[in-house]
Amino acid sequence: MLLVLTYGFMAAVVATQARAAVGDLGPPPSEPEIRQTITDFYSIGQPPGTEVNVDFIGPITLGQVVQHDNPDSSSSPMYPVNAQVRVTIKYVTHSVFDPEQISTVDYYGPPPTGDGSYYFFRDDKGHWQVPAPTCTRCPKQ
């Protein structure tokens, strides 16, 4: 009897430890959450009056949790998401000669991280985030 109780207790402890790394992540993001988070990813840091349009081309696929570089620590568990997007950024530039000039920047393709995936993690408030890459193919702000 003692052996059975000990085994049950150990199984519960091991199961809890096995889920601990993913516990902060929770269930994977839904498709609407993926779309919104990727749109927010391209909208962050844009000047006031900027219009950011993100069109998703083809399927959105979600992978299994992996360890990935995180800007706040060495690495953390994240969900990889593959998606092809076309990003159009329109913004008003201010100049002495033409105060209403509108500039447009287009970006088409996979994420600018180089490996084809957006990596999703939850911030300390429970919101989905994608770490900002250091890249040369990102749309200019």
List the domain boundaries for the chain. Answer: 26-129
Q: What beta strand segments (E) does the chain contain?
A: 51-62, 66-70, 73-93, 101-109, 118-122, 128-129
Q: What is the pLDDT confidence band of residue 133, given thresholds at 50, 70 and 90? A: low
Question: How much is the pLDDT for 100?
Answer: 60
The mean predicted confidence, pLDDT, of the chain is: 72
Distance between start and end Cα atoms, the chain: 66
> Rounded to 5 degrees, what angle do the CA atoms 46, 52, 58 make?
135
Cβ distance 92 to 102 under 8 Å?
yes
- Of 116 and 49, the one with more pLDDT: 49
Tokens representing residue 133 in the block: 């890459």
Give the tens place of pLDDT for each residue, 68-106. Answer: 887 766 788 899 999 888 888 887 666 555 556 666 676
User: What is the sign of the dihedral through the CA atoms of 37, 38, 39 and 43?
Assistant: positive
C-alpha 137/C-alpha 115 separation (Å) is 13
